[in-house]
């Protein structure tokens, strides 16, 4: 995998020395997208632009039904890696309400906007990334507001001891479940990176509201947002609303045969919790011994290590999954929805 690293990408594009001189900063989403595109081309992976309509067990393999918008076709494969954790768009027409994926499809829409108010809902890195991008693009006299169900914007703990568990999770299994959940809560769930907080501190008009969003509706070209704070219903109006909240496990695995999932966990998927699925994640990041080849890295944090759901140990993530197929490795297919999201 050394030929596909971030460092190799920077070296080939003559950017490595500048990246080191700048203190090895975290890449912007645009830069990371360029890196992923380079990896796909370098690996000669087949890219299929379609929507995954269904993932079903087919004997010892998997049937992936693809919808191109014109017709459907099925792929029979040995393994499936589910990388999408939210719907591609908010599904709302003619309204300034954006799901996280909506926002990243065209962040340039905010370039130079003056006097606009934007509310971002969420307390994790998805919300932080959107806020930093908005602060960079919005014009003067625009206002940014964060709404999250916490008392404040919390900064991720980033000591060398904690970072070690992200990049080398071999000692993760020595911790009990309570300790693991607490570690992830403190370091990765509902927290912003120190770098993001520093950038936002210099951004100008950025405010925070503790609360939990309960609904919204159009209101004369704006968005009327309702949220609960200290047991009371409150409202706020905004020009734009960006939703960067976690999705339920039902949506995370929404394309997978629901009857099959229910049989694995012995309960209807409507009542299946994220924690119940996370407890079953295997060494190769598959969701269960009964579903070999169905890999869900975004749910692997609890059992396998906190770095798997994010970008902290991509090399190890690839090794864990690909080692299952190394005996008869072939060039993988990357299924990309027509809107550009994997």
| C-alpha distance from residue 15 to each of 11, 19, 21, 84 (Å) | 6, 6, 10, 30
- Give residue 92's pLDDT: 54
pLDDT confidence of residue 155: 61
Contact 50, 337 (CB under 8 A): yes
With contact defined as beta carbons under 8 Å apart, do 135 and 204 qualify?
yes
At residue 39, the pLDDT reads 92
**What was the pLDDT predicted at 7?**
92
Phi, psi of 121 (to 5 degrees): -100, 125
Residue 297's pLDDT is what?
Answer: 92
Q: Which residues of the chain have pLDDT under 50?
A: 94, 339-342
The CATH architecture of the domain made up of 2-86+252-336 is 3-Layer(bba) Sandwich (3.50)
| Residue count (the chain) | 342
Instruction: Tell me where in the chain the CATH 3.50.50.60 domain(s) lie.
Output: 97-154+190-243
Q: Residue 90: what pLDDT? A: 53
Q: What pLDDT is stored for residue 193 in this prediction?
A: 63
Residue 340: predicted pLDDT: 45
What is Dmax (Cα atoms) for the chain? 61
| CATH class of segment(s) 97-154+190-243 | alpha beta
Query: Looking at residue 341, what is its pLDDT?
Result: 42
State residue 321's pLDDT score: 93
């Amino acid at each position: 995998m050394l030929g596909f690293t971030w460092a190799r990408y920077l070296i080939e594009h003559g950017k490595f020395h500048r990246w080191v001189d700048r203190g090895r900063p975290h890449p912007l989403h645009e830069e990371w997208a360029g890196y992923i595109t380079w990896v796909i081309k370098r690996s000669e992976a087949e890219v299929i632009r379609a929507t995954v309509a269904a993932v079903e067990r087919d004997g010892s393999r998997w049937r992936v039904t693809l919808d191109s918008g014109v017709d459907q076709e099925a792929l029979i494969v040995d393994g499936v890696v589910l990388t999408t954790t939210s719907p591609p768009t908010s599904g709302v027409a003619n309204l300034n309400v954006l799901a996280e994926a909506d926002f990243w499809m065209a962040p340039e829409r905010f370039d130079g906007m003056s006097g606009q108010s934007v509310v971002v809902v969420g307390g994790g890195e998805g919300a932080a990334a959107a806020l930093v991008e908005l602060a960079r693009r919005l014009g003067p006299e625009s206002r940014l507001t964060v709404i999250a169900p916490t008392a404040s914007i919390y900064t991720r703990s980033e000591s060398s001891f904690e970072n070690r568990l992200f990049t080398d999770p071999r000692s993760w299994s020595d911790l009990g479940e309570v300790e693991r959940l607490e570690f992830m809560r403190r370091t990765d769930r509902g927290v912003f990176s120190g770098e993001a907080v520093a950038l936002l501190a210099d951004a100008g008009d950025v405010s925070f509201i503790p609360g939990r969003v309960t609904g919204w509706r159009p209101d004369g070209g704006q968005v009327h947002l309702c949220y609960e704070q200290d047991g009371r219903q409150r409202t706020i109006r905004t020009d734009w609303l960006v939703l960067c909240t976690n999705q339920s496990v039902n949506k995370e695995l929404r394309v997978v045969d629901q009857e099959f999932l229910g049989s694995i966990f012995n309960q209807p998927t409507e009542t299946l919790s994220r924690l119940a699925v996370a407890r079953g994640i295997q060494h190769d990041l598959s969701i269960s011994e009964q579903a070999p080849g169905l890999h869900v890295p975004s749910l692997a944090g609890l059992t396998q290590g906190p770095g798997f759901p994010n970008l902290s140990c991509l090399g190890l993530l690839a090794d864990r999954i690909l080692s299952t197929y190394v005996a008869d490795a072939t060039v993988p297919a990357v299924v990309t929805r027509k809107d550009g999201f994997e």
